[in-house]
Amino acid sequence: MKIISINAGSSSLKFSLFNMDNEEVIASGVFERIGIDGSKFTIKYDGEKIEQEIELVNHTDAVKVLLEKLIDLRIIKSLDEIDGVGHRLVHGKDKYSQSVIITDEVVQDLENFKEFAPLHNPANVLGINAFREALPDVAMVGVFDTAFHQTMSKENFLYPVPYKWYEEYGVRKYGFHGTSHRYITKSVEKLLGRKDFKLISCHIGNGGSIAAVKDMQCVDTSMGFTPLAGIMMGTRSGDIDSSIIPYVMEKEGKNASEVVDDLNKVSGLLGLSEYSNDMRDILEKCEEQDEKALLARSKYVRRIVDYIAQYYVLLNGVDVICFTAGVGENSIPIRREVCEKLACLGVEIDLDANNQRGEFVKLSTDNSKIDVYVIPTDEELMIARDTLELIKR
């Protein structure tokens, strides 16, 4: 069985083609600058990597080229080998708590929910329509970023604002990175051989969120109504006092969306360090004892620790803490600093184990009261697994 996982952005389309018999990636790649000058694609397969500039007017063009290339490069013999297409979908509001077979109703809902994810939902629809045109008889599955968080209780997903905002405008915490947090949850289930555990899943990349999970279900998560909330990120502020927004609007003569744009694009690590949103750059600058980089790094760690502490109490204790995504999988000093600050909860890590990068590794010692792991996330595989499961039914 072969399944393609698709992540369609407004001008890009990423894909991974899986052989689901062994869950191996047969080919993967990205189509970039779709509809913009200089469009190109990269395909990796069998140890090879090809890159080519090619005019791609829209997503339909990109999918056409992708499918042609899969055959030309002999990655597959015919399109009949593709058994299913799984799409990463961003916002399913409170309607979708699980992955679904994509129908006209799902596409309509993505359109209807677009004010909740103005950049992502329309792009997801472009990706779906392109595959519907190219492979009309192949089943497609939608995997929502928000779905895993639908198990949060009202107490956890509501903001203390007028209730009408929730009832009439849908103002509530939705949470994101759900596919990644679910992948981590399932990996921990496999590791422990049971479902009854308490987990804090830390997805720390350029974007970042933390989820509190009990018995396989999300109890709370740090991102909120939008992905701007929660921990400090590469360019996003995470939680701030909302009164800052009108204050800065007046100071800088900006409108609300321009200030929110600043909170999304020039805040976080980049904002505080005035240098970079990339943790590797920040760590390098810290070596030079750069004051702002040091501050950005300690604030970043602090925000992660704050959420872990909060969720430790919410879950009434924790069995496992997991680090994943770019920083979580690779940044040795950030993991060390977070874990050192958790010593009061009984966390103890082996510094040699922590020196490993980007691999599945147990960081905690036998003395640690909480098991700490690094588990590389794999959202594409999770999408392919869901797709396979739903099309087999």
For ligand AMP, the closer CB: 44 or 254: 44
Query: Please, are residues 152 and 173 in contact by the beta-carbon 8 Å criterion?
Result: yes
d(CA 124, CA 120): 6
Residue 146's CB is within 10 A of a number of other CB atoms, namely: 27
Q: Which of 325, 342, 372, 374 binds ligand AMP (CB under 6 A)?
A: 325
* DSSP bridge pairs for 140: 85
Catalytic residue (choose from 46, 137, 145, 290): 145
- Least distance between ligand AMP and beta carbon 279 (Å): 3
Q: How far is the CB of 54 from ligand AMP (least distance, A)?
A: 25
Q: Of residues 201-260, which lie at the interface with ligand AMP (CB under 6 A)?
A: 205-206, 234
Among 49, 194, 195, 280, binds ligand AMP (CB under 6 A): 280
In angstroms, what is the minimal distance from the CB of 182 to ligand AMP?
16
Distance CA 23, CA 356 (A): 24
From 9-17, 153-161, 311-319, 326-334, give the range in contact with ligand AMP by CB under 6 A. 326-334
Choose the stretch contacting ligand AMP; rule: CB under 6 A; options: 70-78, 320-328, 368-376, 382-390: 320-328
Q: Which of 327, 338, 361, 388 binds ligand AMP (CB under 6 A)?
A: 327
- Do the strands 2-8 and 13-19 form a parallel or antiparallel pair, or are they unpaired? antiparallel
The answer to whether 343 and 370 have CB atoms below 8 angstroms apart is: no
What CA–CA distances, in Å, run from 229 to 18, 86, 223, 226, 270? 33, 27, 5, 7, 16
To the query of whether residue 104 is one of the catalytic residues in this protein, the response is no
Handedness of CA 114, 120, 125, 128 (dihedral sign): negative
Binding residue (CB under 6 A) for ligand AMP from 61, 189, 239, 278: 278
Residue 348 DSSP code: -
* Site membership for ligand AMP, residue 330 (CB under 6 A): yes
- Report, as residue numbers or ranges, the catalytic residues: 145
Which residues contribute to the site for ligand AMP (CB under 6 A)? 205-206, 234, 278-280, 325-327, 330-331
